[in-house]
Chain A
Amino acid sequence: MGFTGKHSVSRVLCKLLAVCALVFSVGQVQAHHSFAVHFVADQLITVKGVVTSYKFTNPHGILNFSVTKEDGSVEAWRAETNSPNVLRRRGWNKDSLKPGDEITVVGFPARDGTPYMRISKITFADGHELTGQASTDPTAQD
Chain B
Amino acid sequence: MKMRTHKLVIAALLLGSCSMVQAQADLEGYWTSLFAPTPEGEALKAKLPAGAVFVDDAGSGELGEGQFSGLKLSDKALKEIADYDFRQELSQEFACTPPSVAFYMQAPFPFELHQSDKFIAMKIEYFDMFRLIFLDGRGHPPADAPHSKSGHSIGHWEGDELVVETTHISSGTFMNNGFNHSDNLKLTERFKLSADGNTLFATQVSEDPEVFTGLAARYMAWRKVPGEYVYPYECDPSFGE
Show the binding face of A for B, using Cβ within 8 Å: 25-30, 32-38, 55, 57-60, 62, 80, 83, 85-86, 88, 138-142
Q: Which residues of chain B from 136 to 195 have a CB within 8 Å of any chain A CB? A: 176-178
Give the residues in chain B near A141, CB-CB below 8 Å: 32-33, 108-110
Say whether, besides A25-B61, A33-B94, A88 and B231 are in contact (CB < 8 Å).
yes
User: Could you show 15 A-B contacts with beta carbons less than 8 Å apart?
Assistant: A26-B60, A30-B62, A30-B107, A32-B89, A32-B99, A34-B64, A34-B178, A36-B64, A37-B177, A57-B236, A86-B109, A140-B35, A141-B33, A141-B110, A142-B60
A139 and B233 contact, CB distance less than 8 A = no
A30 and B176 contact, CB distance less than 8 A = yes
3 smallest beta-carbon distances between A and B, as pairs: A57-B236, A33-B89, A138-B36
Give the residues in chain A near B110, CB-CB below 8 Å: 141
CA distance A139 to B224 in the complex (A): 11
Interface size, chain B (Cβ < 8 Å): 37
Least CB distance from A106 to B in Å reads 19
Show the binding face of B for A, using Cβ within 8 Å: 32-36, 57, 60-65, 86, 89-90, 94-97, 99, 107-110, 125, 127, 176-178, 223, 231, 233-236, 238-239
Among candidates A25, A27, A34, residue contacting B86 with C-beta atoms closer than 8 Å: A34
- SS class of chain A's interface: helix, strand, loop or mixed? loop
CA distance A80 to B108 in the complex (A): 18
CA distance A140 to B33 in the complex (A): 8
Among candidates A36, A55, A85, A88, residue contacting B109 with C-beta atoms closer than 8 Å: A85
CA distance A85 to B34 in the complex (A): 16
Least CB distance from B236 to A in Å reads 4
B62 and A62 contact, CB distance less than 8 A = no
Give the residues in chain B near A32, CB-CB below 8 Å: 89, 94-97, 99, 127, 235
Among candidates B63, B64, B108, B235, residue contacting A29 with C-beta atoms closer than 8 Å: B108
CA distance A138 to B34 in the complex (A): 7
Among candidates B33, B64, B125, residue contacting A85 with C-beta atoms closer than 8 Å: B125
Among candidates A28, A55, A58, residue contacting B235 with C-beta atoms closer than 8 Å: A58
Least CB distance from A124 to B in Å reads 24
Give the residues in chain A near B176, CB-CB below 8 Å: 30, 33-34
Give the residues in chain A near B62, CB-CB below 8 Å: 28, 30, 34-36
Of A33, A62, A86, A140, most B-chain CB atoms within 10 Å: A33
B89 and A38 contact, CB distance less than 8 A = yes
Among candidates B36, B60, B125, B178, residue contacting A28 with C-beta atoms closer than 8 Å: B60
CA distance A123 to B57 in the complex (A): 31
Say whether, besides A36-B65, A38-B89, A142-B60, A58 and B33 are in contact (CB < 8 Å).
no
Least CB distance from A85 to B in Å reads 5
Say whether, besides A28-B61, A85-B109, A142-B60, A34 and B234 are in contact (CB < 8 Å).
no
Nearest-neighbor residue (CB-CB) of B64 within chain A: A36
B35 and A26 contact, CB distance less than 8 A = yes
B90 and A33 contact, CB distance less than 8 A = yes
B36 and A139 contact, CB distance less than 8 A = yes
Give the residues in chain B near A26, CB-CB below 8 Å: 35-36, 60
Least CB distance from A42 to B in Å reads 11
Least CB distance from B241 to A in Å reads 9
Least CB distance from A114 to B in Å reads 11
Give the residues in chain A near B64, CB-CB below 8 Å: 34, 36-37
20 new A-B contacts at CB < 8 Å, known A59-B96, A85-B233: A29-B108, A30-B57, A32-B97, A33-B176, A34-B62, A34-B176, A36-B177, A37-B86, A37-B89, A57-B238, A58-B236, A59-B236, A59-B239, A80-B239, A85-B125, A86-B109, A138-B35, A139-B34, A139-B35, A139-B36
